[in-house]
């Protein structure tokens, strides 16, 4: 079983991919960049960009009546590892009332639309 997820409560895909894919046990969420619903960059501030990426991920989950507590793994792509501490502060606040997901963080040379951060996630169903 494989089903796509599409919502207007998160920025639309900017390429040939889905916002998410549901399988029998997992939801794979495509990387989210810090854009609002109109496709505009929300800020140049890494903390605000981090929160927007995470909010976009949660908004996609809400289409299936799930929330951030279902996220079991995230991968964070940072343009500059010097932003790690500030990103981590915002990330910690966002997941503070849940079990923190497993996580990988990597520095990359460039991200879509030249944003500072992109976050993808895997969530469980149920």
CA nearest 111: which of 48, 60, 28, 53? Answer: 53
Q: Is CATH 3.10.129.10 the right assignment for the domain spanning 3-124?
A: no
CA nearest 47: which of 11, 73, 12, 84? Answer: 84
For position 87, what pLDDT does the model report? 98
Angstrom distance (rounded) from CA 97 to CA 63? 21
Q: How many CB atoms lie within 10 A of CB 44?
A: 10
For position 101, what pLDDT does the model report? 98
Token digits for 18?
Answer: 């889905």
pTM of the model: 0.94
7 phi, psi to nearest 5 deg:
-140, 150
Token digits for 123?
Answer: 């969530």
**Which residues of the chain fall short of a pLDDT of 50?**
none
């Amino acid at each position: 079983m494989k089903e796509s997820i599409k919502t207007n409560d998160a920025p639309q895909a900017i390429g040939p991919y889905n916002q998410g894919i549901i399988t029998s046990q997992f939801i794979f969420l495509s990387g989210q960049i810090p854009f609002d619903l109109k496709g505009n960059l929300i800020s140049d501030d890494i903390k605000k960009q981090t929160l927007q990426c995470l909010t976009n991920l949660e908004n996609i989950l809400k289409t299936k009546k799930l929330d951030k507590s279902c996220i079991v793994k995230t991968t964070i792509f940072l343009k500059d590892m010097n932003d790690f501490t500030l990103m981590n502060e915002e990330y910690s606040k966002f997941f503070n009332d849940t079990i923190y997901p497993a996580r990988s963080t990597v520095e990359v040379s460039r991200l879509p639309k030249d944003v500072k951060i992109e976050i993808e996630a895997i969530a469980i169903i149920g």
